[in-house]
């Protein structure tokens, strides 16, 4: 049980219409995320980050390959019990208030004392004052926070966060990063995708880099940065741009 997420030789392709040939979006993706680590999944737009996340959360199926969450088959209730998921640019039921939205997710996750837990989490993400407001009145930052709260509501062992930092102001980003680190300190595993590299650099234990559907590098940040580069004075962003240029060349 030391491995939280195990992806083995995942392939996935999509076709835009019936006449078109399927386009391979993921090619032989294999990733192992250790329990208790923060794993940053990085890549340019269209690299396959969201598709990988959708496969991990069971929203789509791989064409071939195997996915296990804490050793349980993906999409099983056992696997889902471990997962707290924040989708990219989340959309929520606009007719519900913040409290109602969170409470429904608590009940879906079989949370005991769901009312207490809902109020505690609203407080935790700083939305107690907006608990009775319908979600369509929430700002972008407030929606991201309520999204994080629904991921936390079942107190899962594994957080899968798709671009959790996008669209947030610096304060919002800092709060989410603090929250990610706080969860790691509680022994939780965090798998998150991002293309905001300095933020990923600040919190990740390990990173995986996906470019054009292929995982190019996995490892500790320092080790990856040192690969083939003689100076230590390089940021992840500089390294990343070099890698992408190399792949596109």
Partner 1 sequence: MHRMWAICENTFKEGLRQRILIILAIFALLIIVISVFLGPFALGEVPKIIRDFGLSAASFFSILIVIIIGSSLIKKDIEKRTIFTVITKPVRRSEIIIGKFIGLLFLIMIIQGMMTIIQQLVIFVFEGAFDPGILLALPFSLLEIMILLGILLVFSSFSSPTLSAIMGVVFYIIGHASPDLKLFADQSKMPAMKFIAYGFYYIMPNLENFNFRLELVHKLPLYADQLMFTVAYGLIYTIFLVYLAILVFEGREFK
Rounded Cα gap, residues 125 and 129, in angstroms: 11
- Write the DSSP symbol of residue 88: S
Rounded Cα gap, residues 147 and 124, in angstroms: 13
48 near partner 1, rule: CB under 8 A: no
70 near partner 1, rule: CB under 8 A: no
The nearest distance, CB 42 to partner 1, in angstroms, is 22
Q: Of 51 and 183, which has the nearer Cβ to partner 1?
A: 51
Q: Candidates 41, 92, 159, 192: give the one binding partner 1 (CB under 8 A).
A: 92
Q: In Å, how far from its chain's centre is CA 102?
A: 19
Mask 164-203, x = binds partner 1 (CB under 8 A)?
Answer: ----------------------------------------
Query: Residue for token digits 């071939």?
Result: 64
Q: Of 135 and 236, which has the nearer Cβ to partner 1?
A: 135
Which one of 56-64, 177-185, 199-207, 225-233 is the stretch in contact with partner 1 (CB under 8 A)? 56-64
100 near partner 1, rule: CB under 8 A: yes
64 near partner 1, rule: CB under 8 A: no
Residues 10, 65 contacting (CB under 8 angstroms): yes
Q: List residues bridging with 23 in a β-sheet.
A: 14
Residues 183, 170 contacting (CB under 8 angstroms): no
Mask 135-154, x = binds partner 1 (CB under 8 A)?
Answer: ------------x--xx--x
Rounded Cα gap, residues 83 and 79, in angstroms: 7
Which residues make Cβ contacts (< 8 Å) with residue 17, sequence separation at least 6? none
Binding site for partner 1 (CB under 8 A): 14, 54, 57-61, 77, 80-81, 83, 85-87, 90-93, 95-96, 100, 104-105, 107-110, 147, 150-151, 154
């Amino acid at each position: 049980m030391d491995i939280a997420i195990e992806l083995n030789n995942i392939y996935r392709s999509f076709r835009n219409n019936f006449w078109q040939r399927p386009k391979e979006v993921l090619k032989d993706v294999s990733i192992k995320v250790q329990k208790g680590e923060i794993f940053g999944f990085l890549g340019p737009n269209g690299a396959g980050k969201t598709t990988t996340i959708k496969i991990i959360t069971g929203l789509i199926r791989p064409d071939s390959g195997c996915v296990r969450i804490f050793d349980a088959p993906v999409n099983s209730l056992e696997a889902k019990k471990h997962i707290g998921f924040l989708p990219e640019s989340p959309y929520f039921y606009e007719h519900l208030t913040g409290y109602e939205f969170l409470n429904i997710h608590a009940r879906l996750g079989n949370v005991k004392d769901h009312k207490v837990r809902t109020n505690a989490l609203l407080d935790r993400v700083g939305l107690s004052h907006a608990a009775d407001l319908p979600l369509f009145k929430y700002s972008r930052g407030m929606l991201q926070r309520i999204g994080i709260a629904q991921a936390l509501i079942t107190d899962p062992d594994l957080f899968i966060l798709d671009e959790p930092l996008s669209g947030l102001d610096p304060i919002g980003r800092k709060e989410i990063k603090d929250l990610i680190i706080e969860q790691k300190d509680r022994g939780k595993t965090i798998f998150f995708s991002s293309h905001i590299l300095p933020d990923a650099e600040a919190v990740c234990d390990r990173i995986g880099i996906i470019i054009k559907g292929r995982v190019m590098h996995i490892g500790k940040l320092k080790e990856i940065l040192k690969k083939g580069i003689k100076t230590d004075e390089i940021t992840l962003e500089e390294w990343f741009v070099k890698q992408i240029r190399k792949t596109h060349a």
